[in-house]
Amino acid sequence: DTEVTQTPKHLVMGMTNKKSLKCEQHMGHRAMYWYKQKAKKPPELMFVYSYEKLSINESVPSRFSPECPNSSLLNLHLHALQPEDSALYLCASSQESASFYEQYFGPGTRLTVT
């Protein structure tokens, strides 16, 4: 299996809801990432996990809460989001977190906050 999968593909949630995005890879990669991509903009890094430990949080609001339960799974828990949080959320993984390793991207979850 050489793909990063993300579920759900689409998610619509209200501002008071709690939901989670899921990302999975079975390539044995030890680094995983969350990016946010607004329409017609490039992806922006949110979080980096290396060996299941959070190594980078790019000053993301606490209403986004990442979790890495094991080396294959990465979750993003969402609570009390704002309409401006509507975006495509991309997960990626790489063999290690060193800079020269390729990052493999998932197809993304398109989130709409109403």
Partner 1 sequence: AQRVTQPEKLLSVFKGAPVELKCNYSYSGSPELFWYVQYSRQRLQLLLRHISRESIKGFTADLNKGETSFHLKKPFAQEEDSAMYYCALRGFMYSGGGADGLTFGKGTHLIIQP
Count of positions on this chain that bind partner 1 (CB under 8 A): 26
- Minimum gap (Å) between residue 5 Cβ and partner 1: 11
- Minimum gap (Å) between residue 71 Cβ and partner 1: 15
Residue 67 binds partner 1, judged by CB under 8 A: no
- Minimum gap (Å) between residue 97 Cβ and partner 1: 4
Contact call for residues 36 and 53 (beta carbons, < 8 A): no
Which of the residues 82 through 101 are near partner 1 (CB under 8 A)? 90, 92, 97-100
Residue 54 binds partner 1, judged by CB under 8 A: no
The phi-psi region of residue 51 (left if phi > 0; otherwise alpha if psi is between -120 and 50; otherwise beta) is left
Residue 64 binds partner 1, judged by CB under 8 A: no
| CB-based contacts of 54, cutoff 8 Å, min separation 6 | 47, 48, 66, 68
Q: What's 32-82 look like in SS3?
A: EEEEEECCCCCCEEEEEEECCEEEEECCCCCCEEEEEEECCEEEEEEECCC
Nearer to partner 1, 32 or 78 (CB): 32
Residues lying near partner 1 in the complex (CB under 8 A) are found at: 31, 33, 35, 41-45, 48, 50, 55-56, 58, 90, 92, 97-100, 102-108
